[in-house]
Amino acid sequence: MPQLSAALIDEVRVHLTERWQNDAIYQRYANAPTQYEGPPSIRGFIADMLALPATALRDQRFEGTQKLLGRPPFCQLNQSQFGELLGATVFLNGLPTTIDTLALLHVFIPSIRTVLRWDICSYPAMEGPKQRARFALMESCGVPRDEFCQWVLLAPQVRALAELLWPEIRARHAARPLFDFFTTARENGWYCNLDYAIATDDSRPVRTRTVPTPLGAVTLELQRKEVERPAAVYPHAWRATLGGPNGKRMAVACGMAYVPPRFCGAYDFLSTADELSDSDIMLVRALLDQFPARFGMGLDTGVAFLCSWERNPAAPKGAGAVVLQAGLNALKKSLRKVTALVVDLRPLQFSDWDLPNEPAEIATAKQEAREKLHTLLDSLCPEGAFGKRAERFDMLQRHDETDSQHALFLLGESQIEWARGQNEL
C-alpha cells in the first residue's frame, strides 16, 4: 500500500526548512500561470494578521477582533514573537479562530505544495546519479514514479505531511521577533550576494583597475554584458571592492552601467535591460517612470546604477564611503561617457518594498533608513566622480525585483507605447 516514506518526509523537511528561513514559499515563473493557493510570503501573511484589529473597525466580518488593537503581539514588533502571534485568537464571522489555524491552512499547507511541486516533482534537469536518487525517493513510497506527483499532491498526503512537519517549523520560528520577518538576514556579514553582478563563467572578460586609498586598495571589476548586436546601449556590470586583511572584503559597491554609442530611445533602453534580468528591467523602467523629464525620451549619456552598497560590520567606519568614491572614480576612467549616477534608494536591510498592509512600525523604520541613506549621499556627493556635468537621481524602485511576471508586464507595456509612437509618425 502506498505511504509516505521516511526518506520523502526528510527531503520535504529539508526543503521546507530552507524555504521558511528564506521566506521563499511561493515559486514564481514569468511564463507560467500561478498554481499557488496562499499569500506570496510569510511576511505578507503576518502583515495581514497584524492588520486584522484595524480592519475589524470597518468590516463586520471581524467584529470582536478590534479589541486587540494596540496590544502585543499586534504592536511592538521588535519584542513580539511569531509564536505569540500564532497563539492569538481573532474572530471571523463571529467564530473564534486562532492565527495558528489560519497559518496552517493558508501558509504552511500551500508551502508544502510548493515543495512537492517544485522541489520534489521537478526533476527533468537532473541527470545521472541525482536523477536516479530522485526516482528512488519516489519509488520508496510504493508508487510508480510516473504516478508519484499526482499521488503525493492529493489532499491525504499533503495533510499527513502538514500534521508531521507543522509543529517542527512552528517551533523553529516561534521565538523570532515579528520585525525579523520584514528584514534581510546577513550571510557571512553581508545582506546581498556580492558575486551576482560579475559572472565569472561568462564569455566576456572582466577588466580590473586598482585604486589605492588610506584604508587599502579598492579594486574595480568591469564586465560588458553580451547583448544582441547592433546594440543601442551597452550594459556593463561593475563592482568595487575594498580589500582587507587575509583577502577579505571590507566594503562593496556594485551595479550596472549603460553606455549608448549615440542617443538611445527609451524602448531600446528597456529592451536591452530585458536581455539581462528581471531586476534590470524594473530598475530601468523605474528610472524612466520616475524621471520622465530627463529620461522619458531615452538616454543621451551614460548612466551608472548603484544597486548594492554595504560595509561589513567588522570593517572600520568610513569604509563604505571610501569604496564608493574610489570605485566611481575608477568607473569614470573606464567609461568616460558616464555622467549620471542612479541610486536605488532602498536600504538592503529590508527585503520587501511593495508589501500590502505594511505595518506602521515597518513603514516608519524604512522611511528612517531611507532618510539616513539620503543624508549620507548628500554629504558625500558621489556623483562628483563623473565630472562637472554630473547628475544624481535618487530612485525608489516600486516593484519587487523577484517578480518576473511583473517584469514581463512592464516590457509588454513599453512595447505597446513604442508601437503607438510608431503609428503616430
> Is 164 among the domain residues?
yes
pLDDT of residue 65 exceeding 50: yes
Same domain, 49 and 164: yes
Long-range contacts of 202-205 (CB under 8 A, 24+ apart): 202/226
Q: Is the peptide bond before 73 cis (omega within 30 degrees of 0)?
A: yes
As a whole-number percent, the residues of the chain with pLDDT over 70 amount to 88
Q: What distance in Å separates the CA atoms of residue 248 and residue 114, rounded to the nearest whole number?
A: 37
Same domain, 64 and 108: yes
Same domain, 102 and 54: yes
The whole-number average pLDDT for the span 28-55 is 76
Which of 305, 307, 306, 303 has its CA nearest to residue 264?
303
> Is 40 among the domain residues?
yes
> Is 192 among the domain residues?
no
> Is 187 among the domain residues?
no
3-state secondary structure 230-282: CCCCEEEEEEEEEECHHHCEEEEEEEEEEECCCCEEHHHHHHHHHCCCHHHHH
> Is 195 among the domain residues?
no
Contacts of 352 (CB under 8 A, 6+ apart): 41, 43, 44, 182, 400
pTM given for the model: 0.82
Same domain, 359 and 214: yes
- Give the pLDDT band (50/70/90) at residue 410: very low
Same domain, 332 and 419: yes
Domain boundary among 132, 149, 182: 182
Contacts of 15 (CB under 8 A, 6+ apart): 115, 119, 120
> Is 284 among the domain residues?
yes
The tens digit of pLDDT for each residue in 141-175 reads: 999 988 999 999 999 999 999 999 999 999 999 99
The whole-number average pLDDT for the span 345-369 is 88
Same domain, 243 and 131: no
Q: In terms of residue numbers, what domain contains 245?
A: 207-424
Which of 49, 53, 61 has its CA nearest to residue 87?
49
Contacts of 82 (CB under 8 A, 6+ apart): 46, 173, 174, 175, 176, 177, 178, 181
The residue behind cell 499532491 is 153
Which of 33, 102, 91 has its CA nearest to residue 62?
91
Which of 34, 105, 94 has its CA nearest to residue 62?
94
Are the beta carbons of 410 and 277 closer than 8 angstroms?
A: no
Same domain, 237 and 149: no
Q: How many angstroms separate the Cα of 101 from the Cα of each of 109, 148, 219? A: 11, 29, 52
**pLDDT for position 14:** 96
Residues in the chain, how many?
425
**DSSP SS3 for 96:** strand
Same domain, 167 and 232: no
Same domain, 160 and 227: no
Burial of 418 (0-12, 13-18, 19+ CB in 10 A): middle
Domain boundary among 182, 199, 220: 182
Same domain, 175 and 239: no
pLDDT of residue 28 exceeding 70: no
Q: What distance in Å separates the CA atoms of residue 144 and residue 83, rounded to the nearest whole number?
A: 40
CB atoms within 10 A of CB 403: 18
Domain count, the chain: 2
> Is 121 among the domain residues?
yes
**pLDDT for position 230:** 84
Same domain, 358 and 237: yes
pLDDT of residue 360 exceeding 80: yes
Q: What distance in Å separates the CA atoms of residue 135 and residue 115, rounded to the nearest whole number?
A: 16
Same domain, 158 and 251: no
**pLDDT for position 33:** 47
**DSSP SS3 for 329:** helix
> Is 336 among the domain residues?
yes
Q: Find the DSSP H helices in 264-342.
A: 266-274, 278-290, 292-295, 319-334
